[in-house]
Amino acid sequence: MKTVSYLLTLLIVVSLTSCATTAKFPVSNVAPAADIKAVKKTDSNKNITLEITAKNLASPDRMSPPGNVYSVWIVTNDYGIKNVGQLMNNNAKKSSFKTVTPFDFSEVFITVENDGNLKFPTGTEISRTRI
């Protein structure tokens, strides 16, 4: 009986720690063909993993106005807006992005930028979602 109880407790702990939050970005007026999804998970070190998958997203130089990169931004709960990286895309059918951050966040958004190392967004926002 103790073994069954132990295994059940272990199963509950594993299932709770493997939970992820998934959010689908709304259809963008700037890139309407893009189908973008984000997955947020907490790892064993209490860091947040963010994975973004984009389908049918045009190259940033084809946007209006054009840019060089897609920057991924998070709206943190305590520290405002943070640039967490670049979504690499060259007219790909499917692009992906993955990063780990110590900041918990409630929103994710993507912009077209000329420079990928900005502290604040300056370009056109492609889409935003709460997660």
What's the whole-number average pLDDT of the chain?
87
Task: Determine the Cα–Cα distance for residues 106 and 80; give it in Å rounded to an integer.
Answer: 10
Quick check: bond before 65 cis, omega within 30? yes
Residue 2 domain flag: no
Task: For residue 2, name the pLDDT band (cuts at 50, 70, 90).
Answer: low
pTM flag (> 0.85): no
Residue 47 domain flag: yes
Domain extent at residue 55: 21-130
Residue 10 domain flag: no
Residue 15 domain flag: no
Q: pLDDT tens digit string along 52-75?
A: 999 999 989 999 899 999 999 999
CATH code at position 85: 2.60.40.200
Percent of the chain scoring above 90 in pLDDT: 68
Task: Determine the Cα–Cα distance for residues 75 and 21; give it in Å rounded to an integer.
Answer: 16
Residue 7 domain flag: no
Residue 56 domain flag: yes
b (16+ CB within 10 A) / e for 74-102: bbbeeeeeebbbbbebeeeeebebeeeee
Residue 76 domain flag: yes
Beta partners for residue 52, in sequence order: 38, 97
Count structural domains, the chain: 1
What Rg value do the Cα atoms of the chain yield, rounded?
A: 17
Task: For residue 4, name the pLDDT band (cuts at 50, 70, 90).
Answer: low
